[in-house]
Structure 1
Amino acid sequence: MTTKRLAVLDLARGLAVVAMAIYHFSWDLSWFAFVDWPVSQGTGWRVFAASIAGSFLFLAGVSLDLAHNDGIRWRPFWRRFAMIAAAAAAVSLVTYFTFGDSFVRFGILHSIALASLIALPFARAPLALSAAASIVFLTLPFWAKSQILDGPLWLWTGLGTVGYPSVDYVPMAPWAGVTLAGLAVSRTFRNLKLCTRLSEFRLRSASASFIRAMGRHSLAIYLLHQPVLYGLVWTAAAVGPDLDRSGKAFVRNCSLACEDSLGTPGICRSACTCTLEQLKADNTWEALQEEPQNQSLRSRMNTSYAQCLADAELAPQAD
């Protein structure tokens, strides 16, 4: 069994923590309208978020292999599992009171806990079986989706239509496959005696030591960093100037919906900005915020949007 802690593994986990903090801080700045970055919807941001989640899950598989390759250590495993499960429950509870219906129903910690249960038996299975299991889970969304798995009861599977918004959603499929891939890669490295070579890298510089320390305490940092960052940005928004967060959110969401049908970002942003200006000019905006489901107000909004969109589509031709 590998008992010597790998400095490179702590470094990799620490770098994932740094990337996670950067993403969450960017999301907070966007949420409070300090920036107009499409953190929630932008393709690049989604890839960035997925790579961070994948890093944590992959490293969880590596850690499982290193800890249990010579025999499953049940007590440490269940202790770690209980800590992650409790932390996942805490995240769901806190985000429920913070974001309402968009709370984290099955996020990265939920996924790590479930993936650890799935991957644990493969720590003692043949390498080929671990690799095959990884491929199965990674490809499940392509061939195993079913309407039978729609709804909240099966949202953890990732094989149905959830129908709920969430600020973080990392289901079993395909993400458990990433953990299994980490386990398989770790086993391959051990078979090739590469872990011994990696253990020779001590990484004792000040910056590397700091990042390694973050990697060793990644769970605690995960639980604490977002409340701290969110609180700082919330405080800045509360004491700072009015940034018209709701107006910026309207333009951003309106533009994204428009682009889905028209595919013309410039025209869509112009039309949505024009719509907001008209709603404010005729005193509809404040009333709409107080009664978002008021059909009369929504009809006036749609009329303004249709006129603004028509004007925006004509504007390029007039230049």
Structure 2
Amino acid sequence: MTPKRLAVLDLVRGLAVVAMAVYHFSWDLSWFGFVDWPVSQGAGWRDFAETIAASFLFVSGIGLDLAHHRGIRWRSFVQRLAKIVLAAAGVSLATYFAFEENYVRFGILHCIAVSSLIALPFVRLSWAVSGIAALFVLTLPLWAQSFAFNGQLWLWTGLGTPDFGSVDYVPLAPWAGVTLAGLAVSAAFRTFGIWQRLTALRFENAAGRFARLLGRYSLPIYLIHQPVLYGLVWAVFQVNPAADRDALAFVKNCTLACQDSFGAPDICEAACGCTLEFLKTDGIWTALLVAPEEPGLQDRMNRRYAQCLADPEAFSSLDSSQK
């Protein structure tokens, strides 16, 4: 007999909640310019985010198996699905007002909702069938991608190239495959009696109880944690503004362009930082932000860039001579 609630499952879900909060807090700090971590673009950060998403989808598949393997409990399933759909709609609406064109069109909650519908027919089948279905969906991007799926209409499939930016994008391919994989693993665990052995793990120490508590309330925590964290960082930013995000972006983009031409990361970063400081000292930085294509401003910026590229310490030397 499979227990109604597994401590180990709540623990895993709770640890995923903690990881999610760490990622989002790091993103908030980066967004407001308190840190220069590449949270949105860095490969390591993307791997971290994808691991978190995969853990929620995998546990969702386990939950489907444990709840419905003896027979689909339609009322429970529909109630859970309705909560997730409403939460997903709320996330889309909130991010539309917060991030405009970068709002969440098909994020983790949208994916969990649709993946649950896809996985539901497999709950009464063997773990091997679910595993094959998981492998099929997981590999879809490798052999089924097509320009026919490009654009907004088919963005949820994950088989085309989206024409938008988004703060959260989790399409069905390959991610629904993770839910099916969770379903298959849970069914296999039941078949081989592994869940029964795992019931002995209770995690009764303080850390374990806290993680299990977070796991039991993962959906409401998901909905409230980012507005709270974002609001806190925003409030600190109002009192003590961090580094200028535009300045950070300028140095980053300038350095990348410089490296493409000269392949010298240290020199390029120093030269671009020097250029930025000159632009601010010359009083044209704000004007460039307003009218970046204005020829006169671009000429002055290019001259300063050439000067700094020839001598990355040029601004430091000028600054020292004026003290």
CA gap of 1:274–1:304, structure 2 versus 1, over 3 A, is farther
CA RMSD of aligned residues (A): 2.4
Percent of aligned positions that are identical: 60
Supply the distance in 1 between the matched residues of 2:84 and 2:301 (Cα, whole angstroms): 46
CA contact (8 A) 1:107 1:171 kept: yes
Summarize deviations over 1:122-153 as a string: whole Å, max 9, x none.
11122222111111111111111100100011
1:137–1:52 CA distance, 2 compared to 1 (3 A): same
Could you tell which deviates more after superposition, 241-250 or 216-225?
Answer: 241-250
Q: What residue in structure 2 maps to residue 38 of structure 1?
A: 38
- 1:83-122 correspondence to structure 2 within 5 Å: 83-122=83-122
Assess, with a 3 A threshold, how the Cα gap between structure 1 residues 259 and 109 changes in structure 2: closer, same or farther.
farther
> What residue is the counterpart of 1:23 in the other structure?
23
Matched pairs, number: 314
Distance 1:260 1:109 in 2: 39
Note if contact 1:288-1:297 (Cα within 8 Å) is conserved in structure 2. no
Answer yes or no: is the 8 Å Cα contact 1:2–1:67 preserved in 2.
no
Is 2:272–2:305's contact at 8 Å kept on the other side of the alignment?
no
Q: TM-score, normalised by structure 2?
A: 0.89
Measure the CA separation in 2 of the matches of 1:64 and 1:283: 61
- TM-score of the two chains, using structure 1 as the length reference: 0.90
Partner of 2:302: 303
Residues 1:265 and 1:83: Cα distance change in structure 2 (over 3 Å): farther
Query: Which runs of structure 2 are paired with 1:158-307 in the superposition (5 Å)?
Result: 158-241=158-241, 243-256=243-256, 264-292=264-292, 294-296=293-295, 299-300=298-299, 303=302, 307=306
Name the CA distance, whole Å, in 1 between partners of 2:304 and 2:136: 46
Q: Shift in Å at residue 304 of structure 1?
A: 5.1
Q: Give the aligned residue type for 2:30.
A: S
Looking at structure 2, the residues matched to 240 and 289 of structure 1 have their Cα atoms a distance apart, in angstroms, of 22
Identify unmatched segments of 5+ residues in structure 2. Answer: 315-323
Q: Which has the larger Rg?
A: 2
Question: SS of 1:153's equivalent?
Answer: coil
Letter of the 1:205 counterpart: N
CA distance in 2, matches of 1:46, 1:259: 23
- Specify whether residues 191 and 35 from structure 1 end up closer, same or farther in structure 2 by C-alpha distance, changes over 3 A only: same
Structure 1, unaligned runs of 5 or more: none
Alignment of 1:106-145 (within 5 A): 106-145=106-145
Supply the AA of the counterpart residue of 1:303: N
Matches of 2:227 and 2:303, distance apart in 1: 39
CA distance, structure 2, for counterparts of residue 224 and residue 75 of structure 1: 26
Residue 65 (structure 1) shift: 0.7
Kept in 2: contact 1:272–1:308 (CA 8 A): no
What are the equivalent positions in structure 2 for 1:2-81 lying under 5 Å apart? 2-81=2-81
The structural deviation recorded for 1:72 is 1.0
* Other-structure match for 1:149: 149
Rounded Cα–Cα distance in structure 2 between residues aligned with 1:105 and 1:304: 43
Which stretch of structure 1 is more off in the superposition, 67-76 or 255-264? 255-264
Q: Structure 1's 297 and 226: CA in aligned 2 closer, same or farther, altered over 3 A?
A: farther
Task: Report Cα offsets for 1:247-303 as digits up to 9, x if no partner.
Answer: 1233234445655777654344234323322332333321122235x3537744873
